[in-house]
Structures are given as C-alpha cells and as structure tokens.
Structure 1
Amino acid sequence: MANTASARKRIRQTATRNERNRARRSRVGTFLTKVQKAISSGDKAAAQAAFKDAQPEIQRAASKGVMHINTVARTLSRLSAKIKALGATAQA
C-alpha cells in the first residue's frame, strides 16, 4: 500500500494511463481488423479506404508509446503489400 502522497498520485496516474493505453490498443486492433476483412473480401478499393483510415491511428499509437515504432512500420508495410497484391491478382 502506498504510504506517501507522491506514491498515491503515481498509482492514480498509472491507472489513468493504463485505461488510455488499453483504449488506444483496442482502437488500433479494431482498425486493423477492418483492413484485414477488406483484404480477405478481395475488394481493393475498400481495403485501401480502410487502410487510409487505419494508418494515422496506428501511427498515433506509436507516437504515444503504446506500440513500438518498428512494429508499426512492419504492420503498415505488410498491410500495404497485401493491398498491392490484391490489384496484381485482379489484373492477372
């Protein structure tokens, strides 16, 4: 149990940050799911639109420290490649 005022404040701050980070992580997951569903449906336009909406949210998670910057870069790169591949298979 916290004995000092500063320790009690740190507990409050940690709880608040924990809630915010959990909400951010959940929001990123929702956006990623939307992109994945659009990719699996094979609709390139919908996938691009979902990716365009998801990208700033995922970047924001990295800037806030919820996700590592390299994880974000890798995720965006892979999603982009999958969307690009949709167009290649549709044209072939």
Structure 2
Amino acid sequence: MANSPQAKKRARQNEKQNAVNKARRSRIRTHIRKVEEAITSGNKDAAVAALREAQPELMRGVTKGVFHKNTASRKMSRLSARVKALA
C-alpha cells in the first residue's frame, strides 16, 4: 500500500488513467468488431465504411499509448486484406 504522499498521488493518477485507457481500448475493439461483422455479412460497402472509421481510432490508440504501433498496423493490415478479399 502507498504510504508517502507522492505514492498516494501516483496511485490516484494510475486509477484515472487506467479508466481512460480502458474506455479507449473498448471503443477501438468496438470499431474492429463492426468491421468484422460487416465482413461476415458479406457487405463490402459497409465493411469499407467501418474500416475507414476504425483506422483513425486504432492509430489514436497508438499515439495515446494503448496499443503498440506494430500491433495496430498488423490489425489494420489483416482487416484490410479481408475487406479487399470480399470482391
């Protein structure tokens, strides 16, 4: 347990940032799920639109430190390939 004032403050800050990161991660996963649902339904237009909405969310997650850059790039690459294959 945190004893010093600075450790207590750091614990409070960590809780707040944890909540922010959790919400951000959840929003990104929701966008990815929408893309995957559109791919599953076979609707290419909806999949492309969902992918366009998901990309900035993923990259924003990278800049905010929620995801590693390569992780986001890998996810975008795989989703893009699946959308492209819908033809």
Equivalent residue letter for 2:19: E
The Cα RMSD (Å) is 0.7
Q: Using structure 2 for the length normalisation, give the TM-score.
A: 0.96
Residues in 1 aligned to 2:75 and 2:3: alpha-carbon distance in whole angstroms: 43
Which residue in 1 is equivalent to 2:76? 76
Ranges of 4+ aligned residues in structure 1 off by more than 4 Å:
none
Among all aligned residue pairs of Structure 1 and Structure 2, give the percentage whose two residues are the same amino acid. Answer: 54
Deviations 1:16-43 (A, max 9, x none): 1100111011111100100000001111
Which residue in 1 is equivalent to 2:29? 29
Q: Using structure 1 for the length normalisation, give the TM-score.
A: 0.91
Unaligned runs of 5+ in 2: none
Give the superposition deviation at 1:4: 1.3
Which residue in 2 is equivalent to 1:90? none
SS at match of 1:12: helix
Residues in 2 aligned to 1:25 and 1:3: alpha-carbon distance in whole angstroms: 31
